[in-house]
Amino acid sequence: METPATSEVMTTEVADAPQLVQEAAEEQESTAAAQYPTVLEEGDEEEEGELPADFDRLWRVAHENPLEFSSWTDLLQYCEQESHTTASRRALGTFLIRYPLCYGYWKKFADLEKRAGNTNRAHEVCVRGLKAIPLSVDLWIHYITLLQDTLNMNLPESTQHIRSAFESAVSAAGLDFHSDRLWEMYADWEREQSDLKAVTAIYDRVLRVPTQLYRGHFERFRAHLTAHHPQDILSTEEVGRLRAQLQQSKGGETNPEEPEEEKPPGEETPSDNTSIQDTKIYQQNEMEVGKRWAFEEAIKRPYFHVKPLDRAQLKAWHTYLDWEISEAEQQAQEGAVRGAEAQTSSCAGRERVLILFERCLIACALYEEFWTKYVRYLEPQSVEEARNVYRRACEVHLSHKHNMHLQWATFEERHGNITEARRVLKNLEQAMPGLAMVRLRRVGLERRTGRLDQAEELLREAVLQSKETPTLHAFYSIKLARFLLKLSKNSAKARTVLLEAIEISP
């Protein structure tokens, strides 16, 4: 039953929550720094010693109001106007710890290092940015362009380095509905390397991905096939398959002993170049795009920003996610019945769900409901994947949202990881001291695991620390007295606790 003291304490906590946010944000900086460290390591020599005149003032304002986005952008804009490398580096490094999803500032950071002649640092900035936001097509393109501009292309390993970067890019972001520029950039680059078979392979992959500009990929693929001899752009196995399909489509047979007359490049008929299978793949992909088009049109802000999204946008994401999950589940059921080919489709369905969740958590990173939805989707499939989502949410994006931390602790306890649950709650209380619900959750955890002595100690500590706040002191005293009476079966100690509380709050 909720006592008047309980109600008053909980109401006070809600009212005081904004005062705790800054402390939580400061805790976030030290925690997230390990995951998204600045490029300038301790001991590195900085180019410019004296900082601009207003830097210290703006720096102080930003740190005094760490959740005020405009205070950070004011600092960054000032550093950029002053063209001061050291100040900009320091400001960008700290800002991106707090807001790692702002891909535009990762690009600015990389450009800063490039202009300063620090090519390796520029590469490192991009790599760290891509670890924070691997779905950013813009950042991948920026990184690959940086490699093309700065690597020595006379070295054979440089080409492989760029190709590996492209592969990493399409593996991470290639399923994004808006990844078209990345795929085309990859195909164009392989064409520049005169690797026409690689170009064909790229188009063969992207034609299976529902993207916004899917039709353009197919048209360019057909132009690619028409412009070159099949043997120059297809593997031996693919050439054989196409010939077999051509014979089947014509309904005739040819004498294998009579070699087919080879036509000059560009003189082949379209049926010699465009396979039935490729057309079917395109049609299937067109159908998948059509299913998603209305959902994509409803999303107006796919990037991160601290400004709140309206309810229509939040509903659009929920609706899209629910539909994609339903599609994946249907494919999984079909896979169980139809065999290997359908199982492959089922795996692709799950990948699309994951990609959509990751896209959503860029635009909706500050909304607990989507992190919770993601965890609920992942938990039945992989506890470790769900744990990683909690870790990202609580240690980077929602460090000041205590409910998310409490959910994480419950998750760990549910899966038998008591040590981790204890750590999560303890860290939360250190970051946001004074929240009674957190202390009670710690007490409850110890009680459920049979550590009654530790539970009692936590309550006594809370009673002692709250003497300067009569209402909170009374609240904890009642909790401790009830604990001593019901669980420790010690009515004398319970009475003593209540009498001491009455002396403080008569």
- DSSP states of 287-345: HHHHHHHHHHHH----S--SSPPPHHHHHHHHHHHHHHHHHHHHHHHHHHHH-HHHHHH
Dist CA 358 CA 173 (whole Å): 10
Kindly indicate the confidence band of residue 404, based on its pLDDT and cuts at 50, 70 and 90: very high
Amino acid 249: pLDDT? 57
Helices (H) and strands (E) counted in the chain, each on its own, are: 25, 0
Share of the chain above pLDDT 70, in %: 81
- Burial class from Cβ neighbours inside 10 Å (0-12, 13-18, 19+) for residue 251 reads exposed
Distances (CA, A) of 35 to 30, 285, 358, 395, 437: 10, 38, 18, 9, 29
**Residue 267: pLDDT over 50:** no
CA 184/CA 85 separation, integer angstroms: 34
**Rg, Å, the chain Cα set:** 30
CA distances from 87 to 45, 104, 107, 116, 445 (A): 13, 18, 17, 13, 46
From CA 5, how far away is CA 477, in angstroms rounded? Answer: 10
Residue 256 has pLDDT above 50, yes or no: no
pLDDT of residue 48: 52
- Please check the confidence at residue 14 and state whether its pLDDT lies above 70: no
Longest dimension (CA), the chain: 109
**pLDDT of 439 higher than 90:** yes
Torsion, Cα 35 39 41 44, to 10 degrees, reads 180
Tell whether the torsion through CA atoms of 270, 274, 277 and 280 is positive or negative: negative
Q: Is 238 helix (H, G, I), strand (E, B) or coil?
A: helix
Asked if residue 18 has pLDDT above 50, the reply is no
CA atoms within 13 A on the CB side of 377: 24
Residue 478 has pLDDT above 50, yes or no: yes
- pLDDT category of residue 3 using cuts at 50, 70 and 90: very low
Query: Which of the listed ranges 276-285, 345-354, 387-396, 427-436 does the model predict with the highest average pLDDT?
Result: 387-396
Higher pLDDT, 255 or 107: 107
Residue with tokens 């009212």: 15
Q: Are 301 and 312 in contact (CB under 8 A)?
A: no
Of residues 228 and 20, the one with the higher pLDDT is 228
Whole-number Å distance between alpha carbons of 238 and 231: 9
Residue 438 confidence class, pLDDT cut points 50, 70, 90: very high
Q: Which two tokens stand for residue 26?
A: 């400061």
pLDDT digits (tens, 9 = 90+) for 144-184: 999 999 999 999 899 999 999 999 999 999 999 999 999 99
User: Is residue 190 predicted with pLDDT exceeding 50?
Assistant: yes
> Contact at 8 Å (CB) between 234 and 221?
no
Q: Which two tokens stand for residue 267?
A: 């003189």
324-328, 343-347, 372-376: lowest mean pLDDT where?
343-347
pLDDT classification of 41: cutoffs 50, 70, 90: very low
Determine contact, residues 24/48, Cβ cutoff 8 Å. Answer: no
- Reference 147, options 133, 164, 171, 128; nearest CA is 164
Q: Which of 26-40, 175-189, 246-260, 385-399 has the lowest mean pLDDT?
A: 26-40
d(CA 399, CA 27): 8
Instruction: Please give the pLDDT value at position 348.
Output: 84
Q: What is the pLDDT of residue 235?
A: 80
Position 158 scores a pLDDT of 95
Residues ≥6 apart with Cβ < 8 Å to 321: 353, 356, 357, 360, 370, 373
Task: Inform me whether the pLDDT recorded for 116 exceeds 50.
Answer: yes
Give the pLDDT confidence score for residue 44 in this predicted structure. 44
- What is the residue-wise DSSP string for 176-235? STT-HHHHHHHHHHHHHTT-HHHHHHHHHHHTTS--TTHHHHHHHHHHHHHHS-HHHHS-
Half-sphere exposure of 324 (CA within 13 A, CB side): 30
pLDDT band at 261 (very low <50, low <70, confident <90, very high): low
Q: What is the pLDDT of residue 9?
A: 45
Q: Could you read off the pLDDT of 66-95 as tens digits, one per residue?
A: 889 999 999 999 999 999 999 999 999 999
pLDDT at site 234 = 85
The 3-state DSSP class for residue 275 equals coil
pLDDT of residue 86: 94
Could you give the angle at the alpha carbon of 53 between the alpha carbons of 52 and 55, nearest 5°? 65
Tokens 């489709």 belong to residue: 345
> Taking Cα atoms as reference points, which of 358, 353, 352 lies closest to residue 302?
358
How do residues 290-323 score in pLDDT, each as one tens digit?
A: 999 999 999 999 999 999 999 999 999 999 999 9
pLDDT at 135: 97
294 or 251: which leads in pLDDT = 294
Reported as a single tens digit per residue, the pLDDT across 440-450 is: 999 999 999 99
Q: Is the pLDDT of residue 45 over 50?
A: no
Q: Which residue from 150, 147, 154 is spatially nearest to 185, judged by alpha carbons?
A: 147
What secondary structure, in 3-state letters, does 343-403 show?
Answer: HHHHHHHHHHHHHHHHHHHHHCCCCHHHHHHHHHHHCCCCHHHHHHHHHHHHHHHCCCCHH
Cβ pair 299, 307 in contact under 8 A: no
Average pLDDT of the chain to the nearest whole number: 85
Closest CA to 148 of 115, 186, 103, 179: 186
Question: Quick one: average pLDDT of 178-192?
Answer: 97
- The model's confidence at residue 269, banded by pLDDT at 50, 70 and 90, is very low
- Is the Cβ–Cβ distance between 497 and 463 less than 8 Å? yes
| Crossing angle of the two packed helices 368-378 and 402-414, in degrees rounded to 10 | 10
Cα three-residue angle 464-470-473, rounded to 5 degrees: 35
pLDDT in tens, 229-243: 888 888 878 777 766
Report the alpha-carbon distance of residue 472 to residue 487 in Å, rounded.
22
Position 336 scores a pLDDT of 66
The whole-angstrom distance between residue 219's C-alpha and the CA centroid of its chain comes to: 33
HSE at residue 416, side-chain half, CA atoms within 13 A, is: 1
Decide if pLDDT at 38 tops 60.
no
419: pLDDT strictly greater than 60:
yes
What the chain holds in terms of domains, given with CATH numbers, is 33-170 (1.25.40.10), 179-245+270-295 (no CATH)
